[in-house]
Amino acid sequence: MQDELSQFEKNNVWTLVERPSSHPVIGTKWVFRNKLNDKGEIIRNKARLVAKGYAQEEGIDFDETFAPVARLESIRMFLAFACFNNFKLFQMDVKSAFLNGFIDQEVFVEQPPGFENKNLPNYVFKLSKALYGLKQAPRAWYERLSGFLTENGFKRGVVDTTLFTKTDSNGLLIVQIYVDDIIFGATNESLCKDFSHLNARRV
């Protein structure tokens, strides 16, 4: 739980403020799960703080919620293309991905259960970035990541907007986004190394 809150501080997700009198405040809750290895053994306990997004009000806490989802056909074609051209594919998981997405609306959430500020117990957090459970969280994350890719020379797919490509003198690099997972490969493996280093620095 403390590791999760440390990610919030690292990403500047929120600011503790006085409870607003004319704006709804969304509740928060902890969600726990065990991460298993291929033998079914527990290797890690995970805790995630999520917002009770079902309490959000359209036009107040959120506007647009749609976020593109990778099409299965695109993933199959990507795998077939990689096999045909005999290049490696890599997978990258973005830790606490949704905490990287900026939000435009004013959203206030309750302090995390069990971690309330003893001196300011009635204060709430004003969000500057998305929180898991918010209706706009997937879209906010997609816009941040897609903007980052296009700024770095990638072209977004027309049919599948979660597929990105980049071509230069060294070859072709293909990136497929599936929520917080990124699959990528290139005709020249050095492009994959450059891409992984680029994301490690920024996202």
The model's pLDDT over 11-40, given as tens digits with 9 standing for 90+, comes to: 899 999 999 988 889 999 999 988 888 888
* CA 124 – CA 121 distance, rounded (Å): 8
- CA atoms in the 13 A half-sphere facing the CB of 82: 19
pLDDT digits (tens, 9 = 90+) for 68-93: 677 788 889 899 999 998 888 998 87
Mean pLDDT confidence for 157-181? 88
How many secondary structure helices (H) and strands (E) does the chain include?
A: 4, 11
So what's the pLDDT on residue 39? 84
Q: Which of 49, 185, 191, 178 is nearest to 114 (CA)?
A: 49
Indicate if the pLDDT at residue 63 is higher than 70. Answer: no
**Average of per-residue pLDDT values in the chain:** 85
pLDDT exceeds cutoff 70 at 64: no
CA 171/CA 160 separation, integer angstroms: 21
pLDDT of residue 42: 86
15 contacts: CB under 8 Å, gap ≥ 6: 125, 126, 128
Over range 112-118, report the average pLDDT: 94
User: Quick check: 166 pLDDT over 90?
Assistant: yes
- 61 confidence band (pLDDT: 50, 70, 90): very low
Which residues are paired to 35 by β-bridges? Answer: 44
Alpha helices in the chain (DSSP H): 2-10, 72-84, 137-151, 189-202
Q: What is the pLDDT of residue 58?
A: 60
Residue 178: its H or E element: strand 171-178
Instruction: Please tell me the predicted confidence (pLDDT) of residue 14.
Output: 94
Instruction: Give the C-alpha separation, 84 to 79, whole Å.
Output: 9
Task: State what percent of residues in the chain have pLDDT above 90.
Answer: 35
CA 192 – CA 189 distance, rounded (Å): 5
The model carries a pTM of 0.70
Q: Which amino acid is it at 29?
A: K
CA neighbours closer than 13 Å in the CB half-sphere of residue 140: 23
Specify the 3-state DSSP secondary structure of 126: strand
40 φ/ψ sector (left φ>0, alpha ψ -120 to 50, else beta): left
* Cβ atoms 192, 185 nearer than 8 A: yes
